[in-house]
Amino acid sequence: MDIDFALVLVCLVAFCGALWLLDHLLIKKSRDEAIADYERNRAKGKTEEQIRDDLEELAREPIVIEYAKSFFPVLLIVLVLRSFLVEPFQIPTGSMIPSLLVGDFVLVNKYAYGLRLPVIGTKIVDIDDPQRGEVMVFIHPQEGKYYIKRVVGLPGDTIRYEDKNLYINGELIDKEYVSDITVDTQIGELPGTLYSEVLGGVEHATQHIEGIGNRRTRTTWVIPGGQYFMMGDNRDNSFDSREWGTVPEENIVGKAIAVWMHKEPGLNLPTFGYNKWIN
């Protein structure tokens, strides 16, 4: 089951903040009254040390309030950073190979495409729009999960993908041969080809798998306004807009900008040898 970390974080911040406010408005007043009553009526006949201990006990905050006050500023800072600046994201599948590997931890720029409220995603500050060739994290329009793909089609574009060739508005996007490779697939190792491609001025690698044809009957898409067509760089092994359609603007999470850590699946230690800026 996927956990909505943003929702959990917002609830924790609200809970800790509410306890802090409740203590400030009501509970602390009761402690102050108890201290004043003690000093008036029950401090007689006790040593200074006993009085000091009693006052410390009366002034002591309940453990729940103490923890709430301690965690609130930390959680609030994390919420602000994660919601409006950068958010970590781990690559779960191989759809972006060779650009991004399974187990890569990437940083997502949350303000590149405008500031949005956490959880509900409403844009409150408009900064920029996604550009062709950028790697974007978004919420899948049907599944509600985080996905990461490359922006291929912008609003108003006509996208055609046929015979492993990409056309944008009728223009063939050239891909330059780099090398022959071996690709791990669910049915074993298959020969493949590594290419270099340029989209919107962004040069990046793509790979194709030999022997896997076009499994999709549809080859052409016209992108509606406010929608984006997303594709993985692993062109023959990517579940993307060619299957499920376009991504609405309100589903955008942010721009992937860097790989800061990599961890192979299973009981493996993280490594930092794959760190890089994302093209």
The single residue of 83, 95, 238, 241 carrying the catalytic annotation is 95
Query: Is 70 an active-site residue?
Result: no
Q: Is 216 helix (H, G, I), strand (E, B) or coil?
A: coil
Q: Rounded to an integer, what distance in angstroms lies between the CA atom of residue 13 and that of residue 29?
A: 23
Q: Are 43 and 51 in contact (CB under 8 A)?
A: yes
The single residue of 110, 149, 175, 255 carrying the catalytic annotation is 149
**Phi, psi (5° rounding) for residue 73?**
-65, -35
Q: Rounded to an integer, what distance in angstroms lies between the CA atom of residue 4 and that of residue 118?
A: 11
Q: Is 173 exposed, middle or buried, given 0-12, 13-18 or 19+ CB atoms closer than 10 A?
A: middle
Q: Are 47 and 55 in contact (CB under 8 A)?
A: no
Query: Is 99 an active-site residue?
Result: no
Q: Where are the beta strands (DSSP E) in 117-251?
A: 123-125, 135-139, 146-153, 158-162, 165-168, 171-172, 175-185, 188-199, 202-209, 220-222, 227-231, 247-248
CA neighbor of 254 nearest in space, from 90, 136, 107, 134: 136
Q: Rounded to an integer, what distance in angstroms lies between the CA atom of residue 65 and that of residue 18?
A: 10
Q: Is 276 helix (H, G, I), strand (E, B) or coil?
A: strand
Count the helix, strand and coil residues of the chain and give each as a percent rounded to the nearest 5.
Answer: 30, 35, 40
Number of other CB atoms surrounding residue 222 within 10 Å: 12
Q: Are 238 and 149 in contact (CB under 8 A)?
A: yes
Catalytic residue ranges: 95, 149
